[in-house]
Amino acid sequence: MWLFDKFARKALKQGQLSIIDGDGKRYDYGTPDPDRMPIVVRFTDRKVGNYIARHPRLGAAEAWMDGRMVIEQGDIAGLIDLIRANGKWERGGGQLGARSPMKRIAGTIATRLDSINKIGKSKQNVAHHYDIGDRLYDLFLDVDRQYSCAYFTDPDNSLEQAQLDKKAHIAAKLNLKPGQRVLDIGCGWGGMALYLNRVADVDVLGITLSEEQLKTARRRAEEAGVADRVKFELIDYRELSGTFDRIVSVGMFEHVGVPNYRTFFAKCRSLMVEDGVMLLHTIGRMGGPGQTDAFTARYIFPGGYNPALSEIVAASESQRLISTDVETLRVHYALTIRHWYDRCVKHKAEIEAMFDARFYRMWTFYLAGAMSAFRHGGMCNYQIQYTRSRWALPLTRDYIAPAEQDLRAKG
């Protein structure tokens, strides 16, 4: 416990954390914060504290998942938020546990190797996360099953309203015209494709590597009576042919992998007509290039990586794509995930019945960690608009806001 005690006294200054070790001894850290409820954690055996301190990248997650770390006051979201808030990115904070330069280099190399993501591996990685049963996603996503950052015009908006506003925000940037052909790369369960068809009278091809998502998307198109205009295919973007007036990709670029960035943008350029427009929506890093945290890489998104803006732009520049608009969504994902986390907690019994208690703890740790990373860490979302031609869009951004208002009016 001495090693954990040393770490905690250094890391926690604001807010209160109490640890009850395997012998029943209590350790108190930090100082009272009127805006934050104290957190009380119990370690179920004598080895837990030092195990967490020696393995800062995975120790707490695995101790929580295995039931060796139990939260007696507060919850896992409160615990992670307390720790993250004491090391905000803006103040120079970073990942827990200082790492030597050699370990950082080794970690970066491992991330790059893990994200090579050849076609077969990409499909396996997608199945690991998305093909675990639609029922789980029904429990915590909005009714349209948007599994990406929402757009909160008001932080008090419902999740459903924020996700609808996200689709309108993206559609406005695409500057759509009736009859155009749109490609949705990483179409999920079909919500964006069906929305664009409905509000803009466009034909859409959505592509995915998830068999579960494909079945749901095709069913939804049939039920909406638009299967002739909104089609979905199980295909890797690298194997696609044809041309499109517009390309949209929401929450898929995180799975491309740094070694494939230039390939991705080269393919998108070849799929766009000369005056085409593309909108890329992706999780990103506020700082420079980094590496995927060990928990996410092992348990949640194998092969995934959240890019720095510099990495995205360098790759797209190499393919002569013009970044005509860049927007950073700074806290929208934290607000989004708060809804997801609360809904998962509400449906704890159902999730444990579908999987088991360990899966539920893993899933809530994932959501709690992500929420805190967007609130206090270096994570954000980028929306980048691209064209091949400098004349493809109006001279100013003034067209976006009126179009967005019209789209919101359509609902």
pLDDT above 80: residue 215: yes
pTM: 0.92
**Assigned token pair, 33:** 């914060």
Residue 104 — very low, low, confident or very high, per pLDDT cuts 50/70/90?
low
Residue 246 — very low, low, confident or very high, per pLDDT cuts 50/70/90?
very high
Closest to 209 (Cα-Cα) out of 170, 255, 241: 255
**Assigned token pair, 206:** 């959505």
Instruction: Map out the domains of the chain as residue ranges.
Output: 2-91, 117-410
**pLDDT single digits (tens) 335-381:** 999 999 999 999 999 999 999 999 999 999 999 999 999 999 999 99
Fold held by 2-91 = Nonspecific Lipid-transfer Protein; Chain A (3.30.1050)
**CA Rg value for the chain:** 22
pLDDT value of position 98: 47
Fold held by 117-410 = Rossmann fold (3.40.50)
**Assigned token pair, 180:** 């155009």
Which of the 8 DSSP states describes residue 320? T
pLDDT above 50: residue 219: yes
**pLDDT single digits (tens) 12-44:** 999 999 999 999 999 999 999 999 999 999 999
Residue 409 and residue 314 in contact, taking contact as beta carbons nearer than 8 Å: no
**Assigned token pair, 282:** 């992706």
Percent of the chain, pLDDT > 70?
A: 91
